[in-house]
Structure 1
Amino acid sequence: MGKDGKGKEAKGKGKQAAGSSDDAGGAKGGKGKGKGGKGGDDLGTCTFVKARHVLCEKQGKINEAYKKLQEGWLDNGDKVPPAEFAKVAQEFSECPSGKKGGDLGWFPRGKMAGPFQEVAFNTPVGATSAPFKSMHGYHFILCEGRKN
């Protein structure tokens, strides 16, 4: 599976639509290099990202999960602690990783399909992406770390 075309821009924090991860039913793909963002934490240029995600088949369910984070954390401009994100993932995610709090662990550039990779590699450490659509459903991501 190669890079997917960009979908409609997601509501919220302006992240793009994305593909998917292996845990979310995706396959290896992607071209290896995303858009090179510039930032203090190597946004878009790092080699590995540690992330959690929530995957739901239906848009209404992902919006409900995201709203739960918004009301507890995001509306206040706070970063969502991984433990709190994990609770939401365990409650809402339909991905097998949901049982592990949505934890995808460390993954290299090129492992995740298309725009899922783009969102993961361009979300600042500690930040949560807006919901976005992939061929496997709807996601949002918490970026926990990045390294080269």
Structure 2
Amino acid sequence: MGKDAKGGGKGKGKQAGGSEDGGAKGKGKAGKAADGLGTCTYVKARHILCEKQGKINEAYKKLQDGWLSNGDKVPPAEFAKIAAEYSECPSAKKGGDLGWFPRGKMAGPFQEVAFNTVVGATSPPFKSTHGYHIILSEGRKN
């Protein structure tokens, strides 16, 4: 599955301007369309979920102190450690791993952030109906 998200025949078709993807990209934001933001069908992500804003801010500060303040991307293994320590979601046992999920499966703000975070990037904390989240985007595919 990971190979599809990074390259292969489908990836080359996008670069060549295939008609299916070209139409979707034309409707997206010019700078972000090349990344497939907002146009992909599936996202692979990890997350941290906390009921209280203070706790999610603590987790985000750890990410900032370790990587984000230096402009680095948080390695998935390190994000997983912080998710296991801070997240109140059952996925914490798996380092916050949500696996691949399709557009439409997650509700409101969570889906919006998940599908608009660049692969490898970590979202700032945000609120949903379930609490406060931080998302690490690990992949996207159609």
TM-score range, shorter chain: 0.7 to 0.9
Which residue of structure 2 aligns with residue 57 of structure 1?
A: 51
* Residue 93 (1) aligns with residue 87 (2): yes
Name the amino acid aligned to 1:61. Answer: K
User: What's the secondary structure of 2:33's corresponding residue?
Assistant: coil
Structure 1 residues 96, 36: CA separation in 2 closer, same or farther (over 3 Å shift)?
farther
Counterpart check, 1:111 vs 2:68: no
SS at match of 1:119: helix
| Secondary structure of residue in 2 paired with 1:125 | coil
Query: Percent identity, aligned pairs only?
Result: 85
TM-score, normalising length: structure 2: 0.78
Q: Which has the higher contact order (CA 8 A, sep 6+)?
A: 1
- Larger % of helix: which? 2
Match of 1:5?
Answer: none
> What do you get for the CA RMSD once the two structures are aligned?
1.2
The one-character-per-residue Cα deviations of 1:93-140 (angstroms, maximum 9, x if unpaired) are: 000001100000000001000121010000000000000011111001
Q: How many residues align?
A: 114
Q: In structure 1, the residue corresponding to 2:34 is in which secondary structure?
A: coil
Decide which of 113, 121, 126 is 2:115's aligned counterpart: 121
After the TM superposition, list the runs of 4 or more consecutive aligned residues in structure 1 that deviate by more than 6 angstroms: none
Gaps of 5+ in 1: 1-34
Question: Unaligned stretches of 5+ in structure 2?
Answer: 1-26
Matches within 5 A, 1:12-27: none
Query: Which is greater in Rg?
Result: 2
C-alpha distance in 2, partners of 1:108/1:138?
21
